[in-house]
Amino acid sequence: MLLSLRWLRELIDLPLDGSTLADRLTFTGTEVEGIGRPCEKLKGIVIARVTSLETHPSRSDLLLAHLDRGGRKALCVTAARNLSENDLVCYAPPGATLADGTVLGEREFAGVVSQGMVLSAEELGLPSVETEVGILVLPEGHEPGVDAVTSLGLDDEIFELSITPNRGDLLSVLGVAREVQALVPGSQIREFEVDLPRDEAVWPVGFKGITIADAGCPLYGLGFIDDITVAPSPLDARIRLALLGQRPISNIVDATNLTMLFLGQPLHAFDFDRLPEPEITVRGARQGEMIRTLDGKDRLLEEGDLLITSGGRPVGMAGVMGGENSEVHEGTVRVLMEAAWFDPVRVSRTSRRLGIASEAAYRFARVVDPARCLVSLNYVHSLLAGWGAGRPEARIQVSRQREWDLHEVTLTRKKLERYLLWDDLTEAETILYRLGFQAQSRQEDRLSFIVPSYRPDVRIEEDLIEEVARIRGYDDEIIPSRLPGRPKDRGDIGATFRLWRKLREAAMARGYMESVQYSFISPESIEAIGLGEDSEERLLLANPLSREQSVLRPLLLPGFIEALQANLRKGWRQALRLFECGDSYGGGDGLELFREKRRFGAIVFVGKERQVLYGTRRREDFFSVKADVDALFRACRVRPDYRPGKLPFGHAGQTAMIHVDGEAVGFLARLKPILEKELDLGGALYAFEFDLDVLLERDLPSFATEVPFPAVLRDVSFLAPRNVAVADVEAFIRSHGGAMLDKVELFDVYEGDSLPVGFRSLAFSLSYRHADRTLVDAEVEADHQVLREALESAGYRLR
Amino acid sequence: MSDHRQDVQQMREAFAVALAEADGSDQLEALRVRFLGKKGELTSALKSLGRLPAEERPEAGAAWNALRGEIERALESAKSRFRLLEAEAEEHRQSVDVTQPGCGRPYGAFHPVVQVMHDVVDIFVGLGFSVASGPEIEDDFHNFEALNIPPHHPARDMQDTFYLERKGLLLRTHTSPVQVRSMLRHGAPLRVVCPGKVYRRDSDPTHSPMFHQLEGLLVDEDVSVADIKGCLEVFVNEIFGRPLKARYRSSFFPFTEPSMEMDVECVACSGRDSSCRICKGTGWLEIMGLGMVHPNVLRSGRIDPERYNGFAWGMGLDRIAMLKYGLNDLRVLFQGDAAFLSSGGVL
């Protein structure tokens, strides 16, 4: 909200400069985000009176204006046609600076030297206050020779306040003044009284009255203004609005806006003669009812919207926006001025649903002060009467459905001490008194306060404590810093986080870079890897920022691929290893259905460089990546199994499902080469992902503590059918190797043209060992021979 | 008598000269043959001992044998010296350029935000807080209502929410829902921190639709504002590696009462540079929101607000990472940009 400091100072004596006040407000919860000085570039501009006007001797389109600038004379050449003798104007002599930073000098117009210029509203930096083309003519009351910036109030400082949602009461000059009075010792709000007649008699104009048919409007007041002349409002009102970023419109509209800015009560003016009937009814909208609001848009209403109607027809959306049909216009003669209290939730719901962020709705949603409601009608009446804009009816009509209860909240010494380590109830009372809280009942250790009507946010004792605390501040002299005592237990980083830490450290040690990807991805990135069909399992955002970020990722791979592509586009050519520990959402990746799972995912891109330093030793392949998966699992003390698998995006011959304790927990795969080509990667891409939860809470490893007796080593080498997995061969050897067989290690795999088709050569190193004694060759030989025969008869061809 | 002494001395000197000239094991062998071989000089001298008078023989024999021992030892030691030299020469032939890069993968790289998350967690674990976690896909109750944010409350405008098409689900807008989940699970007293991803419908250089927060909650008997100040000041000094001045401004959050914001002195300029880009010349950085837990939130967590109270805070980890590592564009953090990630080096 923008606040005029000058306006504030009109209401409250303030022994502070603007920036000190801004600090004070900021520290007590009303952040001043900036202080604007809209006309700060204006310099040296003075008030002047046009003493005489004559036409330029050689150019009939120009006028010579003789000016009196307070005893000194000046001559200006102007093209404006709206000047008359005796007009007061803003005059910029040579050396003065205009709003856009232009510094004026003397300038010759066809033989006549113009000493500076007389100014338009735009040249003053306030184009919106202009009411006619040409020079801005000032009303009487400004003294020639005086600095125009001061005289017109253009030297104002405009505070940009960030008002928190609980403090609707601060959305007005009066509200801020009340706050400042509590913050700044020695400041005092000036009395301003507006007469408030309580007469609820019927007007003599044939108005049939107010009907309230909805509990959402417990208080509704109407003023009546007759003999209206719609015209621009006075210059000072227009300047005030312009400085606050509002566009002056007409005396009626400006008066309602100024009243709202001053007192916080939104008002609405109906053209009385355009109402369908001389009556107002407030009721709930019917489903499907329509209204055209004054911005020209047709709005579809729902049950629960609060409507102002006349003769059964909607004329306004209560607290949100008026209807076009009853809007004040140039020919308006009679106005009904509405001031009401509308249910904040109802206003908020309607304005959010329809996306109407009006100043009125903003204030109603933050709860207006019911006690200010009717006062504001009198204030707007007095403004309009003072401007000669119309003749307000002295009485106002009010429909009141209920009274507001006074709210009482108790503050105890005990709680004050607990929160603030400070228990001075007397000082607390002083602070609260300045904020408008009246102490009601007084006991030694507790005080009850009546909450002022404008502070509906204060409802419990903690609220009172905050009021006291924010005024006192939180500096160390007021409340020290200390560490909380009596912890129940040591802090525990927890199993999940511990696991994450192990994995990330292991992954980084193996050359992977940690990344964080967006949780939402594009549907295309999912389809790109062949996961399109299970779309009913996807979790879609109802209101995504863009299609690129509209689906919650079912697995980490699509994001990685997009990141890789982006890197390649930026010219990355080397191998790339990325990992992330993060959630995946929804189901349908071929593993199983799930909603939100903590996953570890990684990619290894082999790179586009044809030449790799140190040759093939550094070239990534399925097995170099598999070693990483093994290492990561080993870091978590888990031994994974790999089974050939099938995934929509997985290479038909290089895809493995990772199993732990018989359960599939993830995959390791090369991307299908056809996808690598479609995605234009220019190299092979390996990926693996697994769920973290299965790795949690593993047992401690057991170390071999006894020194073993020496082993006897034997090698066995044979041709095995290509389609028998090494894991199966190994299992066969173990089951036929006898009780003394200890270790089985593959040490050579050979496939080549020299071998029979469909076969490959495998060579294992076996170690036989006895737990209690050193073995002799002969014992091993017997067992080893049994194994060789078993292999032979199972179809393996020994070499 | 003097003759053979002279002869022995002459041969000793001759051997010394020859040995000094030798520069390889081959020449050592030639030397051995020349002096100690069957027809070698010393062998011949020993053979000619018979021609001496009997009384001179023992002494002369001893002298020649002593020389023989000297020569044998000298040859042996020269031989092992040459062996070492030759081995070293072989090593030189195998020399590598030690300035060439190592073979194998270089160390990876950490992500600044994740690193900060782990660092922050460590600091609070040291203060007795345990890590808690909760889902990112939340419901209205945990994300809003349980935190004292009823439907249509203007406070909902503070956070623009992503909703899922599946009715009733949303992406959490803050880590605060974990507060309630932790209270329901563990009761009081309680000390937890909840790090994680959060989501808001906002995207510009300083706002990412996904970012990271760390929520903290302490519930106990007789907790005061002094306690949270102490905890957070320890945290700030640890994470930035030096003591920083802190200040507190009143603020509003629906789930705390009283509520504050914490500012710390600018990590870049310490308030000494009025044109500082980081603090915009104010000398202060807004670092987190905090406050005393609202009694309604304690009630949502089924904790008796008359017996217990507590404090809570929420900080943006991305912002802290950016301040700590001097980053200025939030969005680059989540693009998996290899050049960016690898530039950060190692831990």
Which of B131, B203, B225 is facing A493, going by the closest CB pair? B131
Residue B120 corresponds to which amino acid? V
The C-alpha of B320 sits at a distance from chain A's nearest C-alpha, in angstroms, of 16
pLDDT at A430: 94
Q: Do A520 and B121 lie within an 8 Å CB cutoff?
A: no
Q: Does B96 contact chain A (CB < 8 Å)? A: no
Q: CB-CB: which of B109, B230, B338 is closest to A508?
A: B109
Q: Which amino acid is present at A460?
A: I
Mean pLDDT in residue range B150-159: 73
> Is the CB of A165 less than 8 angstroms away from the CB of B158?
yes
Pair of tokens at residue A493: 């980083």
Query: What does the pLDDT average to over A419-435?
Result: 94
Tokens of A480: 């020290």
Residue B52, domain extent: 2-93
Q: Give residue B257's pLDDT.
A: 94
A494/B224 CB distance under 8 A: no
CA distance A26 to chain B (A): 7
Above pLDDT 90, what percent of chain B? 61
Residue B202 lies in a domain: yes
Locate the chain A residue with the closest alpha carbon to B226.
Answer: A481
Do residue B210 and residue B301 come from a single domain?
A: yes
Residue in chain A closest to B305 (alpha carbons) equals A462
**Residue A590 — pLDDT band, cuts 50, 70, 90?**
very low
Q: Do B233 and A31 touch (CB under 8 A)?
A: no
Does residue A489 sit in helix, strand or coil? coil
pLDDT band at A592 (very low <50, low <70, confident <90, very high): very low
CA atoms of A42 and A149, how far apart (whole Å): 7
pLDDT at B347: 40
Residues with Cβ within 8 Å of residue A605, at least 6 apart in sequence: A564, A575, A576, A577, A681, A683, A684, A685, A686
Same-domain status, B69 and B140: no
d(CA A289, CA B338): 56
Q: Is B140 on the interface with A (CB under 8 A)?
A: no
* pLDDT(A161) > 90: yes
Residues of A in contact with B114 (CB under 8 A): 504, 514, 516, 581
For residue A193, what pLDDT band results from cuts at 50, 70 and 90? low
Q: Do residues B24 and B127 both lie within one domain?
A: no
Find the radius of gyration of the CA atoms of chain B: 42
Which one-letter DSSP state was computed for residue A184? S
Is the confidence at residue B116, as pLDDT, over 90?
yes
Same domain, yes or no: B133 and B182: yes
The pLDDT value recorded for residue A439 is 94
The Cα–Cα gap between A238 and A128 comes to: 8
Identify whether the C-beta of residue A299 lies closer than 8 Å to the C-beta of residue A227. no
Query: What pLDDT, in 10s, does the model give residues A765-788?
Result: 999 988 888 888 888 898 999 999
| Residue A467 pLDDT grade (very low, low, confident, very high; cuts 50, 70, 90) | very high
Query: How confident is the model over A371-392, as a mean pLDDT?
Result: 90
Name which residue leads in pLDDT, A734 or A587.
Answer: A734
Q: Do A474 and B333 touch (CB under 8 A)?
A: no
| CA neighbor of A149 nearest in space, from A79, A97, A85 | A97
Is B105 contained in some domain?
A: no
pLDDT (tens digit per residue) in A609-625: 877 777 765 678 999 99
Asked whether the beta carbons of residue A29 and residue B336 sit closer than 8 angstroms, the reply is no
- Mean pLDDT value across residues B138-154: 87
Nearest-angstrom CA–CA distance, A256 and B6: 136
Q: Rounded mean pLDDT of B10-25?
A: 90
Chain A residues lying within 8 Å of B257, measured CB to CB: 460, 462-463, 465-466
**pLDDT number for residue A594:** 41
Pair B173, B320 in one domain: yes
Amino acid at A382: S
Q: B223 falls in which pLDDT band (50, 70, 90)?
A: very high
Q: What pLDDT score was predicted for residue B166?
A: 77
pLDDT-derived band at A661 (thresholds 50, 70, 90) equals: confident
Mean residue pLDDT across chain A: 90
**pLDDT beyond 50 at B152:** yes
Is B124 close to A491, i.e. CB distance below 8 A? Answer: yes
- Whether B101 maps to a domain, the answer reads no
Considering A170-174, A405-409, B38-42, the range whose residues carry the highest mean pLDDT is A170-174
Query: H-type helices in A122-165, by residue range?
Result: 148-151
Where do we find the tokens 């006349």? A310
Confidence label for A588 from pLDDT (cuts 50, 70 and 90): very low
DSSP A311-352: TTEEEEETTTEEBGGG---TT---EEEEEEE--HHHHHHHHH
Which residue, A762, A773, A705, is CA-closest to A732?
A: A762
Burial of residue A632 (number of CB atoms within 10 Å: 0-12, 13-18, 19+): buried
Instruction: Identify the closest residue of chain B to A469 by CA–CA distance.
Output: B258
Contact call for B131 and A475, based on CB within 8 A? no
- For B155-176, what is the mean pLDDT? 83
Model confidence at A407: pLDDT above 90: yes
Q: Does B102 touch chain A (CB under 8 A)?
A: no
Q: How many helices (H) and strands (E) does chain A have?
A: 19, 42
Tell me the backbone φ, ψ of residue A448, rounded to 5 degrees.
-105, 140
> What ipTM was assigned to the predicted interfaces of this complex?
0.86
- Chain B hits for A164, CB-CB cut-off 8 Å, are 251-252
Q: Give the residue carrying structure tokens 């992977």.
A: A512
Least CB–CB distance from A618: residue in B103, B107, B339: B103
Tell me the CA distances in angstroms from A286 to A110, A290, A365, A752, B214, one per residue in order.
70, 9, 22, 82, 46
Whether B247 is in a domain gets the answer yes
Task: Indicate the angle between helix axes A495-509 and B112-126, nearest 10 degrees.
Answer: 140
Give the pLDDT confidence score for residue B329 in this predicted structure: 82
Q: Is residue B171 part of a domain?
A: yes
- Could you please report the per-residue DSSP string of A662-717? TEEEEEEEEEPHHHHHHTT-SS-EEEEEEESGGGSSPPPP----SPPPPPEEEEEE
Of B103, B137, B260, the CB nearest to A617: B103
Which ranges of A90-213 does DSSP label H, i.e. alpha helix?
Answer: 148-151, 173-183
CB contact under 8 A, B258 and A465: yes
Determine whether the interchain pair A165/B127 forms a contact, defined as Cβ–Cβ distance below 8 Å.
no
pLDDT of residue A195: 58
In a shared domain, residues B78 and B201:
no
Q: What is the pLDDT of residue A693?
A: 85
Q: Between chains, do A508 and B227 touch, taking CB under 8 Å as contact?
A: no
Please say if the pLDDT value at position A199 is more than 60: no
User: Could you tell me if B204 and B270 lie in one domain?
Assistant: yes
* Residue of chain B minimizing CA distance to A363: B154
| Distance in angstroms (rounded) separating the CA atoms of residues A152 and A97 | 16
**B:224-243 residues touching chain A, CB 8 A cutoff:** 224-227, 229-231, 233-234
What residue spans of A120-263 are helical by DSSP H?
Answer: 148-151, 173-183, 235-243, 251-263
Q: Are A172 and A367 in contact (CB under 8 A)?
A: no
Rounded Cα distance between A422 and A425, Å, is 9
What's the mean pLDDT in A705-715?
Answer: 84
Contact B171 A541 (CB under 8 A): yes
Q: How far is A352 from chain B (nearest CA, A)?
A: 9
Minimal CA–CA distance to A602: which of A506, A532, A698? A506
Closest chain B CA to residue A484: B227
Tell me, yes or no, whether B100 lies in a domain. Answer: no
- Kindly list the residues from chain B whose CB atom is less than 8 angstroms away from the CB atom of residue A511: 104-108
Q: Are residues B160 and B215 in the same domain?
A: yes
Number of domains within chain B: 2
Residue A489: its pLDDT value, please?
84
Identity at B339, one-letter amino acid code: A
Q: Give pLDDT, residue A591.
A: 40
**Residue A535 pLDDT greater than 80, yes or no:** no
My answer on whether B250 and B320 are in the same domain is yes
**Mean pLDDT value of segment A522-536:** 80
Cβ distance of A501 and B118 shorter than 8 Å: yes
Q: How far apart are CA A669 and CA A645, in angstroms?
A: 9
Query: Does A192 score more than 70 pLDDT?
Result: yes
Return the residue in A24, A166, A348, A513 with the most chain B beta carbons within 10 A, the one to mutate for interface testing.
A513
Q: What is the mean pLDDT of residues B238-242?
A: 93
Measured between CA atoms, the residue of chain A closest to residue B234 is: A483
Please check whether residue B98 lies inside any domain of the structure.
no
Domain boundary among B27, B58, B93: B93
CATH label of the domain that carries residue B282: 3.30.930.10
Binned at pLDDT 50, 70 and 90, residue B3 comes out as: confident
Same domain, B9 and B128: no
As a whole number of angstroms, the distance between CA A700 and CA B71 comes to: 66
Would you say residue A316 has pLDDT above 90? Answer: yes
Contact B152 A348 (CB under 8 A): yes
| Cross-chain Cβ contact A493/B121 below 8 Å | yes
**Residue A198 pLDDT more than 60?**
no
Q: How confident is the model at residue B153 (pLDDT cuts 50, 70, 90)?
A: confident
The DSSP symbol for A43 reads B
* Count of other CB atoms within 10 angstroms of residue A611: 5
* B328 inside 8 A of chain A by CB: no
CB contact under 8 A, A493 and B166: no
Q: A545–B166: do the CB atoms touch at under 8 Å? A: no
> Inter-chain contact A487–B128, Cβ cutoff 8 Å?
yes
Does the beta-carbon distance from A543 to B162 stay under 8 Å? yes
Closest Cβ opposite residue B154 in set A348, A552, A578: A348
Distance (Å) from the alpha carbon of B86 to chain A's nearest alpha carbon: 29
pLDDT of residue B2: 54
pLDDT tens for A232-267 read 999 999 999 999 999 999 999 999 999 999 999 999
Q: Give the helix ranges, DSSP H, for A340-494.
A: 344-354, 359-365, 373-386, 413-420, 425-434, 461-472
Chain segment A559-586, per-residue pLDDT in tens = 999 999 999 999 998 889 999 999 998 7
Report whether pLDDT(A706) > 80: no
- CB-CB under 8 Å, A27 with B191: no
The domain boundary, picked from B64, B93, B122, lies at B93
Name which of B96, B99, B100, B105 to mutate to probe chain A: the one with the most chain A Cβ atoms within 10 A of its Cβ.
B105
Q: Give the model's confidence band at A365: pLDDT under 50 very low, under 70 low, under 90 confident, else very high.
A: very high
Beta-carbon contacts of B303 under 8 Å, excluding residues fewer than 6 positions away, are B183, B187, B188, B219
* Domain co-membership, B220 together with B140: yes
Residue B66 dihedral angles phi and psi, to the nearest 5°? -65, -45
Question: What is the reported pLDDT for A396?
Answer: 85
Taking one residue from A and the other from B, the number of pairs with CB-CB distance under 8 angstroms is 266
Q: What is the mean pLDDT of residues A166-191?
A: 92
Residues from chain A that touch B125, judged by Cβ atoms under 8 A, are 490-493
pLDDT band at residue B158 under the 50/70/90 scheme: low
**Mean per-residue pLDDT for B213-238?**
95
| Yes or no, beta carbons of B336 and A559 under 8 Å apart | yes
How much is the pLDDT for A32?
A: 94
Domain boundary among B38, B64, B93: B93
Contacts of B191 in chain A (CB under 8 A): 487-488, 491
Q: What separation, in Å, do the N-terminal and C-terminal C-alpha atoms of chain B show?
A: 83
Q: What is the DSSP string of A236-299?
A: HHHHHHHHTT-----HHHHHHHHHHHHHS--EEEEEGGGSSSS-EEEEEPPTT-EEEBTTS-EE
Residue A500 predicted with pLDDT over 60: yes
Domain presence at residue B170: yes
Name which of A304-313, A449-458, A590-599, A655-664 the model is least confident about: A590-599
Return residues 24-63 of B near A (CB < 8 Å).
none
User: B282 CA to chain A: closest CA distance, Å?
Assistant: 12
Residue type, A375: V
**Chain-wide mean pLDDT for chain B?**
90
Structural domains in chain A, CATH included, are: 2-38+157-189 (3.30.56.10), 46-151 (2.40.50.140), 210-400 (3.50.40.10), 407-471 (3.30.56.10), 495-695 (3.30.930.10), 712-798 (3.30.70.380)
Distance from CA of B89 to the nearest CA of A (A): 26
Please answer yes or no on whether B295 and A460 come within 8 Å at the CB atom: yes
pLDDT of residue A468: 96
Helix axes A173-183, A18-27, angle to 10 degrees: 80
B215 and B275 in a common domain: yes
CB contact under 8 A, A496 and B218: no
Mean pLDDT of B170-183: 92
Q: Which amino acid is at A313?
A: R
Are B199 and A544 in contact by the 8 Å Cβ rule? The answer is no
Q: For residue B206, what pLDDT band results from cuts at 50, 70 and 90?
A: confident
